[in-house]
Chains A and B, each alone.
Chain A
Amino acid sequence: MTLIELITTGYAVPCSVLSDWIAKTADRFNTAFIEQNRYIQYFKGLGVTLEVALFAGIIGIVIGTIMALFKLSTTEDGKPTIWNYIASIYIDVIRGTPSVLQLMIMYFVIMASVDNQILVASLSFGINSGAYVAEIVRGGILAVDKGQMEAGRSLGLSKAATMWHIILPQATKNVIPPLGNEFITLIKETAIVGYVALSDLTRIANQIASKTYDAFMPLIGAAVIYFVIIKILTILLGNLERRMRRSDNR
C-alpha cells in the first residue's frame, strides 16, 4: 500500500465513523431538545427554577436579617434575651434537617391544603435559606469594628439607630460575597422541587429522559443551562462587589 493510498483510505474511514457519530448525536440532540418543541419546556422549567429561587432568596434575606439581629440582641447587662433563644432554635432545627424533608413536610403536612405549589416551595426554601443567611449576616455585623457602635452611641444615637444607620450599611458590604454564594446554592438546591410535583428544570429533564429513554442529552442539557445561569450570576456579583469596594481605595 502506498502512502497516498494509506492516507486516502485512512482518511475516508474515520471520516465515515465520525460523520456517523455526528449524525447520531445530532439525532439524539434533536430528540431531546427540538422534537415537539421540547426546548420550550426546558425554558418553562428554568422559569420555575428561577421563580422559586428568587422568591426564596428574598424571603431568606428578610428572615435571615431578622434572625441575625435576634441572635445578636443582648440585655443591658450583656445576657442573652428570649429572642436569642428563638433564633438559636430556628437555626439549629433548619440546619439540622435535610432541605428535601423540610420541603416535603411543608407540602404534604403543614400546608397540605394550599394549592399554590410555587408559594409552598418558595416559603420552604426561604425558611431554609434564612438559617444560613442569619449566620452570614451575623458574621457580617460582627466583622464591623466594635468602635463604630461605641462611636455612634457616644454621639447620642440610640442602639437601634446606630445599628440601622452605621453598622448595617457597613455590614452589607461584608455580606455580599457570601450572600451571593448562598443564592447560587439556592438555585441549585431548588432542583429537588420535583418531589412536590413542580416542573422545574431538573424535573423537565427527567420527564424528557423517561419519555425518550435517553438520559444523556436532557441531563447534560439541563446541567449546561444551570451552569450558564450561575456563570452569568457570578459575573454580575463580581461586578457588584467591585463597585462596592471602590470606596475602599482612598
Chain B
Amino acid sequence: MKKKLFAAALATIMTVSLVTGCGKSTDTSSQTSEDTNQTASADKLVVGTNAEFPPFEYLGDDGEPDGFDIALIKAIGEKIGMEVEIQNMEFASLVTSIGSKIDVAIAGMTVTDERKETVDFSDPYYEAVQCIIVPEGTVFASADDLKGLKIGVQLGTTGEFIAEDIEGAEVSTYNKAVDAVNDLNNGRVDCVIIDANPASVFEAQFPDKVDVLQGTAYGFEVENYAIALPKGDTELANKINAALKELKEDGTYNKLVAQYIEN
C-alpha cells in the first residue's frame, strides 16, 4: 500500500513538472532577448581580476588593484559609459564567476582554443612571448636543447603549457614564480619558463645568478592577452572591442603601455 501511495505521489509530481515545464517553455522565447541584455544594460561593469601579476595587475600602495589591465578596463568603461567596479579574486575563480558575480574578467588571460570552449574572448589587447630563465652563463643552442630537462613553471601560466609539450621534459608546477626561481637557484630545476615581464624582474633581482633567454629563439609562439567575456554575449563583446579599437587609435593605449609596462 505504501509503495502504491509513493508511486502515485511520484507520478503526480512528474506530471506537474512536465506541465509547468511546458508552461515556462512557451514564454521563454519572448524572454530570452531581455535576459541576455540584463548584464549589459546596467550602468555598472563588474570586472574580476587577480592582482598578482605585475605589471598587468597588482595591489597598489592603497591596497586597491592597479596595473595595466586595470587602467585599460577603466578606460574602456569610460568609452562605453559604464562605471567599472573591480573585484579581486583567485585566478581559478575568475572564469566560474563570469556571468554571475562578475561581468567580465581581465587578468593577463591568454587566449587558447580550449579556454574558448568555456568563455568568449575580446579582441587581443596585448602580445606576449614566454622567456626562459637559466642559471648564469647557460645557453641553449636550439629548441632541441630543452628536451628532457627539468623545467619549473607557474601553475596555470602559458609557460606550463609550453613546458608540457617539450619532449621528455620533467615539469614542476609551482604556486608562485618566485618559488620556481628559488628552486632554479637551488639546482632542483634546469630552467624556468615564464612571461617576459616577471622574467626581467627576476633577472634584476638575481643579476649574477640567472640569465634570461628570449623564447622566440626556441619557437615559442606569440600569445595574446584578452578580456574574458560571458559565452554568447555578443553585444557586450562588440561594445568592448569597439572601445578597445578607439583607445588604440586615440593613443590612450600606447600611453598606458608606456606608463605601466615599458617604464
Contacts and interface: CB of A to CB of B under 8 A. Distances in A.
Q: Which of A11, A31, A211 has the most CB of B within 10 A?
A: A211
B183 A197 contact: yes
B18 A7 contact: yes
Nearest to B118: A213
Nearest to A35: B114
A108 B182 contact: yes
Interface in B14-47: 17-19, 21-22, 25
Interface stretch (A124-132, A201-209, A236-244): A201-209
Given A6-B22, A10-B21, A11-B18, A206 B92 contact: yes
B101 interface: no
A17 B18 CA distance: 12
B168 interface: no
B179 A215 contact: no
Contacts of A212: 114-115, 117-118
Contacts of B179: 108, 197
Contacts of A207: 155-156, 160, 173
A214 B117 CA distance: 9
B220 interface: no
A28 B180 CA distance: 31
A13 B114 contact: no
A211 B110 CA distance: 10
A164 interface: no
Interface string A23-53: 0000100010000000000000000000000
B248 interface: no
A219 to B, nearest CB: 9
Contacts of A27: 117
Given A6-B22, A10-B22, A209 B114 contact: no
A13 B25 contact: yes
Nearest to B25: A13
Interface in B92-135: 92-93, 95-96, 112, 114-115, 117-119
A174 interface: no
B110 to A, nearest CB: 11
- The A interface, classified by DSSP as helix, strand, loop or mixed, is helix
Contacts, number: 85
A215 B156 contact: no
Given A6-B19, A9-B22, A197-B179, A213 B173 contact: no
B92 A215 contact: yes
A110 to B, nearest CB: 12
Contacts of A31: 114, 117
A147 interface: no
B30 to A, nearest CB: 15
A63 to B, nearest CB: 26
Contacts of B187: 113, 115
A184 to B, nearest CB: 25
B152 interface: yes
Interface of A: 6-7, 9-11, 13-14, 17, 27, 31, 108, 112-113, 115, 117, 194-195, 197, 199, 203, 206-207, 209-216
17 contacts: A6-B22, A7-B19, A11-B22, A13-B22, A14-B22, A17-B21, A117-B172, A117-B188, A197-B152, A197-B183, A203-B173, A206-B156, A207-B160, A213-B115, A214-B96, A215-B96, A216-B96
Given A6-B19, A197-B152, A210-B156, 11 more contacts: A10-B18, A11-B18, A14-B17, A14-B22, A195-B175, A199-B173, A210-B155, A211-B161, A212-B115, A213-B115, A215-B92
